[in-house]
Structure 1
Amino acid sequence: MTDRQHIVDSVTATLNSRPEAFAIAHANKIDARGVVTNFWIIADANGTIAATGTSDTEFEHACVAYGIANEHIIDAQGLIATPGYIDIHSHGAWEQSFDNGLEGINTARAGHAMHGTTRQVLSLITNPLDTLCDNLRYVYKAMQSRPDILGAHLEGPFLALSRKGAHDPQCLRDPEPAIVDQLLEAAHGCLRQITIAPELEYGMQAIRTYAKAGVAPAVGHCDADYETARQAFDCGATIMTHMFNAMNGLHHRKPGPIPAALEDSRVTIELICDGFHVQDQILRLAFNLAPHRIALVTDAMAATDCPDGSYKLGALDVNVVNGHARLVSNNAIAGSTLTLEAAVQHVIHLGFSPIDAIEAATLTPARALGFDVPNPITQNPLGLLAPGYAADILLLQQTDWKVAHTWCAGRKIQ
């Protein structure tokens, strides 16, 4: 058995197990609410944060009150405690895609979990409709036994041909009502998000239908102008898929969809913060123009956390050179090899506060899909280190922001 297969098996088994009560002391907490030193956390046997504080005396009393044995108390020794990272747009890792059934889901999830992503929406690439329906069913099945999977994101098939990026043009479709219903039925309620080019025929109607069904429509892979994008947001779209990528860009006489998203406080903006998909100067601009609305995403594909070489994105051949993935057929960018751990590091490197960087990887993506409040999927809200929230906790190194320890819903992954 390879080392990675051992990790996959261990992570999968851990996430299928029951949580245990534990405590963390002497951490430096950073979340969207700010920085707190000498921070402690009590997590109960339901995978919920039961209590937090800063007083050593209160910590001792809380450990007694919640029955935390000494062997279940972790001394963080000044490590940084943050909420677990939440990726609402990624396709795979460790040579596997989320389109590859339960084996692919287990493997790719383990790869991202090793970098602090405790919850993930599994993005599915454009495929024939029957394949998309099968892949949705696999996501639904995986969700029944493990808490780290929030649901599915369909990035296709309702994309503009001219902005298809690395999606198979043979499988692109207009969002006809029958197809919209077919995908909803196959998902059994696991569909969280769907990217739609709103200018397509039936585009606005599909946005309304998905929004009414509790799915977050996202504007992306589109040639929409400013007014069309505004109409899409008024119809119920609440996310912009990886802003700047696979859409018409900013122009002083043709503003396009980007300003429509930036000026609308209802819209969460996905950003791939690797300095390659979007240059650093534009990343800074986006953070400054839309504070508290930037959700870091990876758009990661199967080559994530793997050596350069040949890989697959759906049925398409991809070549990875210097960590950058491109289609063999036309050299188009084919997703990324990014992790949220690296994205957070990059945002801090750009000069933004760690609070802003952590918020963009935790509370903002949680809020985008309604997971910042109690909900039927996770039960407890996500995105903060506070009583009543899920015990999704990271301990990071102080010097380089690397993930040292990870808990998901009270289950220790690493």
Structure 2
Amino acid sequence: MKNILLKHGEIYTHDGILYNGDLFISDSKISEIGKDITKEDAEIIDLDGKKVVPGFIDIHIHGGVGYDVMDASYEALNSISLHLARHGVTSFCATTMTMDVQYISSALKNISDTMKKGTEGAQILGAYVEGPFISKEHKGAQNERHILEPDINIMNEFIEASDNSIKVVALAPEKDINGDFVKYVIQRNIRVSLGHTNATYEEMKNAVDHGASLAVHTFNGMRGFQHREPGALGEALLDDRIYGELICDFVHSHPASVKILIKIKGVEKIILISDAMLACGFGDGEYAFGGQKVIVDKGIARTENGSLAGSTLTLDKAVANITKLGIPLSEAIKMVSLNPAKAIGIDGRKGSIDIDKDADIVVLDNDLTVNMTIVNGKTVYKK
């Protein structure tokens, strides 16, 4: 793999912004950051002041460009990875849906197999299992026929099928009052994300006390806040032990609600996700998603009964949306890089521009559109 020297960029490092800076990539790692770096054995790319930021990490993504993680094929995941790279995503958790156990297991096996084979675009970090251990009351676009009670035996089937590559599993915490499921899962180094839930504030907090550490797409698919019963949302907002996922398309949550989330939790505890489904990058029309008919109109995906069904959002757009609310780009970037890396325990090698970390780099134009994406030191997209 050839070395790359990025010259004259606006580099967003973990410690601050380096203007007119250089970044040297060697052996798939970030090797040097500074000014006036010279290397004879490198491909030199003059960025002319473009922004250099850490690669985006999408921990909750179902599909794109006509493909779904549940397709359980290499072609599907590889195509999704290429699509994501065009929008600045350098790594992602392939996310499953609430379907029959055998279909989920098949998708998980394919995720593991694809990780071993490698993708041409964004790198797969592992799986995010969204369902079937959720509530019927807040199922959203998940298929109610396949919703199950939390079951360690079924979870073991998933873990075995995935060859231990599951990073996150979603749970409605009111179904695990004694915390046995949460405790078992986190012992297997899998994070528990609470959502699609009708839990009370106390039930939600109980799961966090047992080790749950994320909230599935905050505001959506959970019992809302009421001043006499703060609900699942109240706990998600209040508890600093929880990272709150956020779909920042201003459809799933009003801009004012996003501001409230930022004001209460702070940028350090928010993770921007796309929750994108197969229509992302494909346009309006009728699609099948999780075994159900979904209609996408003006970029908004809904089931026939009107429930939102994932999104057609990309993370570069999510970052741009956050900055429109007055959040500095340096802070917005944390929500798509360092925060998700910390949430799933990979911040030692990904999530920020630091020496010896993986060379997962995104170059942004001044309008925050993606100019170039580098994954593990390899250029996988160039405008």
Say whether residues 1:41 and 2:23 are aligned partners.
Answer: yes
Write the deviation string for residues 150-172 of structure 1: whole angstroms up to 9, x where unpaired.
00001000010111000111100
Partner of 1:104: 76
The correspondence for 1:282, drawn from 257, 282, 293, is 257
1:24 is displaced (CA, Å) by 0.2
Say whether residues 1:243 and 2:218 are aligned partners.
Answer: yes
Question: Contact 2:61–2:95 at 8 Å: present in 1 too?
Answer: yes
Structure 1 counterpart of 2:234, which letter?
Answer: P
* Inter-partner Cα distance in structure 2 for 1:366 and 1:181: 25
Partner of 2:151: 176
Partner of 1:84: 55
Say whether residues 1:258 and 2:233 are aligned partners.
Answer: yes
The correspondence for 2:106, drawn from 111, 121, 134, is 134
Question: Contact 2:176–2:182 at 8 Å: present in 1 too?
Answer: no
The correspondence for 1:403, drawn from 351, 370, 377, is 370
Select between 311-320 and 156-165 the one with higher mean Cα deviation: 311-320
SS of structure 2 residue aligned to 1:161: coil
Partner of 1:94: 65
Write the deviation string for residues 294-348 of structure 1: whole angstroms up to 9, x where unpaired.
00001000000111111121211110000000012x1110000000010000001
Write the deviation string for residues 123-182 of structure 1: whole angstroms up to 9, x where unpaired.
001110111111100000011122700000010000101110001111000012221222
1:202 is displaced (CA, Å) by 6.7
Structure 1 counterpart of 2:19, which letter?
Answer: T
Partner of 1:377: none
Identity across the alignment (%):
31
The correspondence for 1:296, drawn from 272, 290, 309, is 272
Select between 208-217 and 171-180 the one with higher mean Cα deviation: 171-180
* Inter-partner Cα distance in structure 1 for 2:15 and 2:306: 42
Question: Contact 2:177–2:203 at 8 Å: present in 1 too?
Answer: no
Partner of 2:209: 234
1:33 is displaced (CA, Å) by 3.3
Q: From the superposition, tell whether residues 31 and 312 of structure 1 become closer, same or farther in structure 2 (CA, over 3 Å).
A: farther
* Inter-partner Cα distance in structure 2 for 1:137 and 1:236: 26
Structure 2 counterpart of 1:33, which letter?
Answer: D
Question: Contact 2:359–2:376 at 8 Å: present in 1 too?
Answer: yes
Say whether residues 1:25 and 2:1 are aligned partners.
Answer: no
* Inter-partner Cα distance in structure 2 for 1:182 and 1:168: 20
Question: Contact 1:174–1:203 at 8 Å: present in 2 too?
Answer: no
SS of structure 2 residue aligned to 1:162: coil
Write the deviation string for residues 256-294 of structure 1: whole angstroms up to 9, x where unpaired.
122322332221110000000000000011111112110
Question: Contact 2:63–2:280 at 8 Å: present in 1 too?
Answer: yes
* Inter-partner Cα distance in structure 2 for 1:51 and 1:36: 13
Question: Contact 1:273–1:296 at 8 Å: present in 2 too?
Answer: yes
1:119 is displaced (CA, Å) by 0.3
* Inter-partner Cα distance in structure 2 for 1:146 and 1:118: 13
The correspondence for 1:392, drawn from 347, 360, 369, is 360
* Inter-partner Cα distance in structure 1 for 2:183 and 2:89: 31
Question: Contact 2:13–2:354 at 8 Å: present in 1 too?
Answer: no
SS of structure 2 residue aligned to 1:112: helix
Question: Contact 2:64–2:280 at 8 Å: present in 1 too?
Answer: yes
SS of structure 2 residue aligned to 1:163: coil
Q: From the superposition, tell whether residues 201 and 357 of structure 1 become closer, same or farther in structure 2 (CA, over 3 Å).
A: closer
* Inter-partner Cα distance in structure 2 for 1:117 and 1:283: 22
Partner of 1:325: 301
Structure 1 counterpart of 2:285, which letter?
Answer: G
Alignment length (residue pairs): 376
Give ranges in structure 2 of 5+ residues lacking alignment. Answer: none
1:355 is displaced (CA, Å) by 1.0
Matches within 5 A, 1:114-129: 114-129=86-101
SS of structure 1 residue aligned to 2:316: helix
1:197 is displaced (CA, Å) by 0.2
SS of structure 2 residue aligned to 1:152: strand
Question: Contact 1:89–1:297 at 8 Å: present in 2 too?
Answer: yes
* Inter-partner Cα distance in structure 2 for 1:227 and 1:173: 22
Partner of 1:342: 317
**Normalised TM-score (structure 1):** 0.89
Structure 1 counterpart of 2:63, which letter?
Answer: G
1:206 is displaced (CA, Å) by 1.2
SS of structure 2 residue aligned to 1:195: strand
